[in-house]
Structures are given as C-alpha cells and as structure tokens.
Structure 1
Amino acid sequence: MPVSKITLRKVVLGAVGALLLAPAPAWAQGAFNMGMLTNTLSQGGSTQSESARASSLPVFRSLSRTPRTTAINRDAIHYSPSMAVRKRNMAQFVSRLRRVDPTSATELERSFARSDPIAEMGGLMRPVGLNPNNVADAMATYLVTAYYGVRGSTDGEPAEFKAVSAQMARAISANGTFAGASDALKQEIAESMMIQAVLANQAVQAAQKKPSAMPAIKAAIAKGSRAAFGFDVTRMRLGPNGLS
C-alpha cells in the first residue's frame, strides 16, 4: 500500500492494533472499555503535570498565528528519551485517571506493565516519517487524531500529520520558553500526546461498532482537546497547510 494511502488507524495503531479486533495487542489487552475511554479522553490536559500544560498551552494557542516563514529550531523539537522518565510518565498517567475511574486506571496500569506502548508507537510512526522523539510529531499525532475523532472518523493521511507537525515545530521554535524546555518535560508532553491519540482512535473505533456511544465519545474528545490545546478542534479546518 502506498504511504500516501496509509490511514490514521495504520499510522497511529497499526500493529498496536485495530484495538477492538482480536487478538488485542499486548498493552491493550483487557484495558479498554467505553467508560475508561470516555473518562480518560475528557481529562485532556489534566493527564499532564502543571509544568507540561504551562509549556504546551501557549504553543497550541499560537498555532495559527505563527508565520509559515518561521525558522524551525530542530533542537527545540527533539528530545532524548529516558526509560526512567517514561516509567514515571506512565505512572502519572494512571494516577490521574485513577482520580476519576479507579477500576479502569488499574486495568491500564496492568496493560502498561505488559508492554511499552511508546516503543510500539515508535515502530509504527517511523515508517511513515514520524518520529516519537520529536515532540512536534507527537503533538501532530494527537491533534490530527482529535480533529478526526470529534467527527467520528479515524481517517488521516501522513501528509496531514506532517503538515500539522510543521506547524507545531514553527510554533515551538517561536516560543522561547518551550524551546528551552528540558528533555524530560518534552518527553512527558510527547508521550501523553501519543497515548491520548491511541485512546481517542480506540474510542472512535469502539463507537463505530456501537453508534449510540458516538456522541459521548465525540464530546469527550472535544472536551479533552480544549483542555489540552486551548482551542476548539471542532471549529478548525485541516488542509494541506495544517490546521486553521
């Protein structure tokens, strides 16, 4: 299949799953139910620390205002991942979910213990030109997923991810605070974005099989994206130059 035809489901999930299709992938087995998905997705930015939200929100809010001529600071958008930071990030993700859904948090914790979701994501992103160690690529994965998710779809082309990633890279480069963020902070933001993207895609797939659940899933994704991005993705348009 040509790369240009690879859909969002294959970009984001691929071997990580058509998550509702048996057999479920390692980290998804037993973890996903509609309540967990709805609760998690609606949390949005609260799945990250205060410092991560304080750093990422200004970037999202300036997305449409950053000129396309802005030079990209490659050092600002890349980070060197740490397994210790990843374990902490997964534990914090579970801890924040536990506040609203203890049962699902326990299920997700067990799933994370079975395999490394970020490593699996990396194996799927790289073949289509996306890098899990590039925070702009991770943000774009979340944004494009949310854009289609609030429309009840799992569509999306690699070119759309790359266009939004370029937007994010310019916005990050123009934001001095974020550009100077530590690797650990960028890793937290990126990994949260990737997990949220998988969960949103999983939720839409589930709702496509149970249409009565779709309104709640769309609303949860919209609420979570507003909390994380600071803007309403339902009102945005996605084109060759990214989101506007």
Structure 2
Amino acid sequence: MVLAVALGGSDAAAQQSIIDGWSWSTLVPSIAQTDILGTHLRELRNEQERRTTPPPDVSRLGFTPSKARRSANLAAFVDKTRAVDPNGAADLQRLFAEGDIIERIAAAIAPVGLRTDNLADVYALWWITAWQATRGDNDTLGRDMYAAVRAQSAKALNGAGGPARASDAGKQELAEALLVQTALIDAAVEQARGNPARMRQVRAAVAKGARGMGLDMAGMEITGGGFVPNGKR
C-alpha cells in the first residue's frame, strides 16, 4: 500500500493501464529470462525436502544506479508503450513528470528492508506485490517475509545466470521496469478497493501478466519462509 501512496494522484490512470495490460508486454527487457521464477517455484518442493540450503549470494545482483540511465530508461518505457498504447504512454509520461518515481519507491520500501539497487530485492517486491494483487490485497507484510522471498529471488536469479552477469546498465533497466510495474500494480489494487467488478479485472490482469513472467500465482502461498506450492493449478 505504501507504493500506492508514493504514486500520489496517478493511481487512476495506473489502474486502467494495468487492466489494459500494456506494461507486461512492453517494459521488461530480455535479460529478465521470464521463466526463471517459474522454474524456481517448480523446484521449491524438492528444496523443502532438503530442508537446508546455503544462503544465496545477493552481492552479484547489486548495481550502481545512474540518474542518466534512469532518465533514458523511463523515456524508453514511454516510447515502447506508445507503440502499442498511446493512452498508456501518456499516463506513464505524466507519472514520470511528477518526480523521480524510483526514489519515491526506494523511500517507501526501505522500512521493510528492501532496496531498489539490487535485483533480488526488486524481484521479491514485484513477486509479492503481484501475488497479493491476484488476491485483491496490497497490505504491507512483515520484514521476515520480504527477506525470505528476497532469498528465493536471489537463488533463482543467480541460477539463471543472465541477470547476475548483466552490466550495471542491464540490471538497472530490468530493476526499473519491474519497479514501475510493481508501483502500477499496487496503485491499481488500491484504486479498485470498494469496486468488486474492477477488482476482478485487476486480479485477472495481474494473474495473466504474471504467467507471462513464468509464475502461476494460483499455485503458491506465502509463508514466513517465503513462497511455497499450494497444490492448486
């Protein structure tokens, strides 16, 4: 919910953009290797059976952000969106003109122990936010849950290879695409509160988009130890 607050007055436009689905297909760069978290989810049961695993190395997933790259990334997001959804592009442009959205997100997520300059943190935030959205929820969870999903994300991203080996520029592009997407999802859920029909649209749109990222949100639940399979398919 803190992300919706960070977006200020842009939530109505953000909600419609999420429902239209433009952000899922246009923002995330190819280095995301969108099957990695889905593959990791399928391996979770075996992981639980082993019970103990070494802590993941999150240092390979950090990067030094550049303000110039950020400006270029946000402009590119608008351009990519304009090709498929001019109205969505205009919404994004207005949102970005209100101030540095990444800095606003960084301030909003710091209290739960997450950062915007590490892919493990960003993936964890996106994963949790999208999962909650498919349940019509955007409550802030405890730090232990964010930390557990951060560890899961780090393992998956390191295992995929590409994201960990990417340049700072590549990592920043992926992180900022996911952060923008996360903020829009959170805002869409917040705006749909009290409107069951609209909330169903948001839930369905986010579930569909998550499947495109390799995740079946209906097949998992979150615990203090992170995401676990729930047997639903």
Same fold flag (TM > 0.5): yes
Counterpart selection for 1:47 from 20, 27, 31: 27
Change (3 A) 1:115 1:142: same
SS of 2:53's partner is coil
Alignment length (residue pairs): 220
Aligned residues: percent identity? 31
- Residue type matched to 1:129 in 2? G
Counterpart selection for 2:161 from 158, 176, 198: 176
| Kept in 1: contact 2:64–2:117 (CA 8 A) | yes
- Residue type matched to 1:177 in 2? G
Change (3 A) 1:33 1:200: closer
Residues 1:189 and 2:174 aligned together: yes
Tell me the equivalent position of 2:231.
none
| Kept in 1: contact 2:17–2:88 (CA 8 A) | yes
Residues 1:154 and 2:138 aligned together: yes
Distance (Å, rounded) in 2 between the aligned partners of 1:209 and 1:80: 41
How far off its partner does 1:135 sit? 0.8
How far off its partner does 1:155 sit? 2.2
| Kept in 2: contact 1:44–1:226 (CA 8 A) | no
1:58-137 aligned at under 5 Å gives the runs 58-64=35-41, 65=43, 67=47, 69-137=53-121
Structure 1, unaligned stretches of length 5 or more?
1-8
Distance (Å, rounded) in 2 between the aligned partners of 1:104 and 1:74: 34
Q: Which moved more, 1:61-70 or 1:217-226?
A: 61-70
Moved >6 Å (runs of 4+): none
Distance (Å, rounded) in 1 between the aligned partners of 2:185 and 2:197: 17
- Residue type matched to 2:40 in 1? L
TM-score by length of 2: 0.84
| Kept in 2: contact 1:43–1:223 (CA 8 A) | no
| Kept in 1: contact 2:14–2:184 (CA 8 A) | no
Distance (Å, rounded) in 1 between the aligned partners of 2:205 and 2:92: 18
TM-score by length of 1: 0.81
Distance (Å, rounded) in 2 between the aligned partners of 1:131 and 1:118: 10
Distance (Å, rounded) in 2 between the aligned partners of 1:182 and 1:216: 37
Structure 2, unaligned stretches of length 5 or more?
229-233
Residues 1:215 and 2:195 aligned together: no
